[in-house]
Chain A
Amino acid sequence: MAAQELTGAEIVIKALVDQGVDTIFGYPGGAVLPIYDALFQQNKIRHILVRHEQGAVHAAEGYARSTGKPGVVLVTSGPGATNAVTGLTDALMDSIPIVCLTGQVATHLIGSDAFQEADTVGITRHCTKHNWLVKSAPELARVMHEAFYVATHGRPGPVVIDIPKDVQFEKAEYAVSPHITHRTYRPRMKGDIDKIREAVDLIANAKKPMFYTGGGVINSGTVASQLLREFVRLTGYPITSTLMGLGAYPASDKQWLGMLGMHGTYEANNAMHDCDVLINIGARFDDRVTGRLDAFSPHSKKIHVDIDASSINKNVRVDVGIIGDCAHVLEDMLRIWKSKARRPDKAALADWWKQIEIWRDRKSLSYKTNDEVIKPQQAIQRLYELTKGREVYVTTEVGQHQMWAAQHFHFDEPNRWMTSGGLGTMGYGMPAAIGAQIAHPDALVVDIAGEASILMNMQELSTAVQFMLPVKIFILNNEYMGMVRQWQQLLHEGRYSHSYSDSLPDFVKLAEAYGATGIRAEKPSELDAAIKKMIETPGPVMFDCRVDQLENCYPMIPSGAAHNEMILGDDPDGASVSEEGKMLV
């Protein structure tokens, strides 16, 4: 390795290039001017200028989730860094690899309440996987490479590197390899083979088995999805997935029961409850899935494959916990299954599928349509039908539209579905769509949004126009914060406190003001043509889809209920929620 003397800013650029980065999302400021100057004088890394630092982090998340590569963010000190906090917390909750570079005031000014100074490392300590304050240029290259390692190894997550301005000017040698061996952080990839054997035995002897998969399969990589498909098809067992895991297993396959959880399908939730062997691959028994913990899947033996040891036995006691990467563990499971020529109990399995079909016949996702008003589920179904066969990437905001998108848009491939699951950040979808479009310039990228959510990061439409990104913002406009209103209907006797979207802009005019295209659909008869026009329009489009204002999202497990106690429709008597249930989000 030839040792070169570079400024801190040049070291940052070189380290990014050595890590294979070609795109960063950012917003300039005083404390990062040296890095921006270095960026200006090179052309290996493309910089996407956002309009709010939160947008930069969500865009990096969309980029990361749609490619499997880490997303890179560059923001300035003080408010730049604090604006990024929501995005970083979102990435931490959903395990998205993000490397966030923040500028900082010069080292001799730290702690003096200088202009645009914030204790970035202190503030982001608990919303990142790890963070660093680089105090001198000689350590900068090593920290950069260590940061990429930490963000992408083990359970992925966001990291922050805080770089003071004088360090960006200071010269130092760049004599480090991008491949580092970390002293302390060496996550376990291969599972304990004895535990895997025990798990395979349980799986083979199951009479009512159930695969429960999550975001961990997506994070592990496309190989994990392929191995999962092979294993599930070999066993013939039913499979469900969390919100974050959609696409790991094809939704068009007959073994797919639909998403489970608070707004999951009737068959998926009942099967989880009644199963005798629960095979969790890369999911974390989140409260949206389990419902009341003491009534969760009470008769099953549970197998949990997770790369994060702290995830195992955190909420739910499992019988076989396997720490390891999904792909590695699935590979071992398949090998053992095939070598022992395991064959599941055909008769028991047939009975189990019979029961599942009875649940499926309930058609829990069905809804009534009419000629006057567009139903939100209908809008999503038509969108799905009219985009089938294309390379489509879907992001969402948060709320009812997000749940309807998960229910009615069917994913057959991983990395096509980007949503804020763990943190539930409204305003995630539009910048995430921008990030996904940057990564896949020729694909169709759609942000399914609500009219309340889309206003949170509306400014990013400017970014889409600047970089000619043909993202389609599909707004299900019901003039309410739908999910909040639904809960207020259920729990607070219909007192819709501040959940009405007052003073909405005319989205079509707003789109045109930004230099994009605006389209509106108000009646079911207009829907298909308008969607087709949206798809065929080159350039960014804002689609204002007026939908039924009081439609509720079903099925629903009300808070505090067991996961097989679902409400399937509007109950004339009003559903009741227990006192404990009211305390839960």
Chain B
Amino acid sequence: MKKDETIERHTISVLVDNEAGVLARVIGLFSGRGYNIESLTVAEVDQAEHTSRITVVTSGTPMVIEQIKAQLDRLVPVHRVMDLTVEAKAVEREMALVKVAGTGEKRVEALRLSDAFRARVIDTTHSSFIFEVTGAPDKIDAFIGLMRPLGLVDVSRTGVVAIARGPEAM
């Protein structure tokens, strides 16, 4: 019996009741069964209905991904599980705050590169900048990579949020 062994990266969007402990339950599911969380974001999306959306980026073999979705789906407070990598064309975005410290050439180069990424400067001193950069995760990765030799100090990332294209609700 051959199993497909390639590790795939999936973005899963989970609509849940905004109840105390729901996030702990979802995270506990991943850690308890040894599934991988690359990034996770959560926020309330509908105040009237008291629902939140958890967007998880996870990786595993196709059989493991199916298991993760089935395990999430059977949690009591879960409304809907959607695999945005498979079920719909989706857009993904992430935001990062990046602190770069330096003077002279490196400082100038950092500012020039930030233009190319359409990053905004949200804080500045004579020896540092804080950039706000938004985009697909690999764009963020690239930006941070370029800042590393230019005096990268700190990074704070939100993790991926995603939404399906087109007019239908997820």
Chain A interface residues toward B at CB < 8 A: 121-122, 125-126, 129-131, 133, 150, 154-155, 183-185, 187, 294, 298, 308-310, 312-314, 317
> Which residues of chain B from 57 to 79 have any CB-CB distance to chain A below 8 Å in the complex?
63, 66-67, 70-71, 73-79
- Contact partner of B78 (CB less than 8 A), chosen from A155, A184, A294, is A184
- Cα A279 to Cα B118 in complex, Å, equals 59
Which candidate, B16-24, B34-42, B104-112, is the interface stretch facing chain A?
A: B16-24
Chain B: interface residue count, which band?
Answer: 20 to 34
Beyond the given pairs A129-B76, A310-B73, 4 more chain A to chain B contacts, judged by CB atoms under 8 angstroms and listed by A's residue number, are A184-B17, A185-B76, A310-B67, A317-B3
Provide the bound-state CA to CA distance between A310 and B76, in Å.
14
Query: Do A133 and B20 form a contact, CB below 8 Å, given A125-B25, A125-B28?
Result: yes
Give every chain A residue within 8 A of B66 (Cβ-Cβ).
313
B1 touches A (CB below 8 Å): yes
A-B contact pairs, 26 of them (CB 8 A): A121-B21, A122-B21, A122-B24, A125-B25, A126-B28, A129-B76, A130-B76, A130-B77, A131-B21, A133-B20, A133-B21, A155-B74, A183-B79, A184-B17, A184-B76, A184-B77, A184-B78, A184-B79, A294-B1, A298-B1, A308-B74, A309-B73, A310-B71, A313-B67, A317-B1, A317-B63
B149 within 8 A of A: no
Q: Are B67 and A314 in contact (CB under 8 A)?
A: yes
B32 at the interface (CB under 8 A from A): yes
The answer to whether B70 touches A310 (Cβ under 8 A) is: yes
With both chains docked as a complex, state the minimum distance between the C-beta of A37 and any C-beta of chain B, in angstroms. Answer: 29
- Taking CB atoms, residues of chain A closer than 8 Å to B75 are 130
Q: How far is the CA of A417 from the CA of B75 in the complex (A)?
A: 29
Contacts of A298 in B (CB 8 A): 1
Chain B: residues with CB nearer than 8 A to chain A? 1, 3, 17, 20-21, 24-25, 28, 32, 63, 66-67, 70-71, 73-79
> How far, in whole Å, are A521 and B21 apart by their CA atoms in the complex?
54
Contacts of B74 in A (CB 8 A): 154-155, 187, 308-310
Candidate in B1, B25, B73, B77 with the most chain A CB atoms within 10 angstroms: B1
A126 contact set on B, CB distance < 8 A? 25, 28, 32
Q: Which single residue of chain B is at the shortest CB-CB distance from A121?
A: B21
A118 CB, min distance to chain B CBs, angstroms: 15
Residues of A within 8 Å of B21, CB to CB, are 121-122, 125, 131, 133
Interchain CA distance A130-B21 in the complex, whole Å: 10
